Amino acid sequence: MDIQINQDQFIKTVEDNNIVVIDFFADWCGPCQTLLPTIHKLAEELKDEVTIKKVNVDTNRELSVAFNVRSIPTLVYFKNGKEVARHNGLLSEGMLRGHINQLKTA
């Protein structure tokens, strides 16, 4: 399943879905590659409740600048079209699940 989106798809994704997690990443980033299997697993597992997508910072620089992404991976959490939280750096599957569960119950 390809969950990577570009700048044009970004606004529609955030506006059309209740809960969205965007993973700002780069192919050359070691921690990003470590996080990748977790992102794909949860994107598939939670697809009926949460939209999880990836944005490549190298090919979507304007979007990265607009969201002030200064380090990667950066996960930005949206609820009802608005940014509600973010996490910089690598996190475990359990931590990511916890962040998503907080969004679902907030």
Residues identified as active-site: 29, 32
- Structural Rg of the chain based on CA atoms: 12
- In a 10 Å sphere around its CB, with 0-12 CB exposed, 13-18 middle and 19+ buried, how is residue 30 labelled? exposed
DSSP letter (8 states) at residue 70: -
Please, which residues bridge with residue 22 across strands?
53, 76
